[in-house]
């Protein structure tokens, strides 16, 4: 499995919008807000306190957008597909790409038997139907998708999947948190704080 945070956008915009609730940004422009470091810091502190409070207090997290590049096995994607709200995915189409080249061991999350690999390649080269090929693919077959989501959806995933039996969830969460490090206080926005929920 491979996970890479491609881009995170909207942090300043989310804080600016959050400031409206407190009457702190309603009479200034976005440019003025970005230049006022004291106000930005104040909004970061408010955001840190609200990030884990339910009931709409943390809705500003929905304005922070992430793009994530994930190459994961089919069995992980079937669990990831549980998360639909606030998440879009664009994937490498198995139907359009499976016949482009022979499959190799690196196309799978775990070691695949050479007999299985030979069988799959025979199906592909023999022009078996796409339905049959897809039906024979092991669950460890890797598929790449670009996920576009928001910080609130990621926070929800972290809360539900931390400590999950599948090690891919631990890797996914660690990579997401690693990708947030450039945003200073932002990492704490994603960390679950169960005592406040």
Sheet holding 88-91, edge to edge: 2-9, 65-73, 142-150, 88-91
Neighbours of 73 (CB within 10 A): 19
**Residue 131: per-residue pLDDT:** 93
pLDDT tens profile 161-192: 999 999 999 999 999 988 887 766 566 677 64
Domain ranges of the chain: 2-69+167-196, 70-144
User: Is residue 150 helix, strand or coil?
Assistant: strand
pLDDT above 70 covers what percent of the chain? 93
| Nearest of 48, 70, 33, 59 to residue 146 by alpha carbon | 70
Residue of higher predicted confidence among 84 and 182: 84
Look up tokens 């009479």; give the residue: 27
Q: How far apart are CA 155 and CA 176, in angstroms?
A: 10
Q: What pTM was computed for the model? A: 0.87
Task: Decide if pLDDT at 102 tops 60.
Answer: yes
Q: How far apart are CA 171 and CA 153, in angstroms?
A: 17
Q: What are residue 6's phi and psi, to 5 degrees? A: -80, -40
| Nearest of 63, 86, 87, 66 to residue 77 by alpha carbon | 87
pLDDT tens profile 2-57: 999 999 999 999 999 999 999 999 999 999 999 999 999 999 999 988 988 877 88
Contacts of 27 (CB under 8 A, 6+ apart): none
């Amino acid at each position: 499995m491979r996970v890479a945070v491609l881009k995170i956008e909207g942090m300043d915009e989310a804080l600016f919008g959050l400031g409206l609730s407190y009457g702190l940004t309603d009479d200034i422009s976005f440019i003025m807000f970005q230049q006022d470091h004291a106000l930005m810091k104040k909004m970061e502190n408010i955001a840190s306190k609200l990030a884990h409070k339910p009931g709409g207090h943390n809705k500003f997290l929905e304005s922070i957008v992430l793009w994530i590049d994930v190459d994961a096995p089919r069995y992980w994607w079937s669990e990831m597909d549980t998360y639909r709200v606030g998440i879009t995915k664009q994937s490498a189409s198995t139907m359009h790409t499976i016949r482009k080249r022979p499959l190799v061991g690196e196309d799978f999350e775990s070691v695949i038997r050479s007999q299985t690999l030979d069988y799959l390649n025979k199906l592909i080269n023999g022009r078996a139907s796409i339905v049959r090929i897809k039906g024979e693919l092991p669950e460890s077959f890797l598929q790449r998708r670009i996920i576009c989501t928001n910080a609130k959806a990621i926070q929800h995933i972290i809360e539900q999947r931390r400590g999950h039996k599948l090690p891919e969830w631990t890797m996914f969460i660690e990579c997401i948190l690693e990708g947030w490090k450039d945003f200073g206080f932002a990492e704490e926005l994603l960390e679950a704080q169960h005592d406040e929920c």
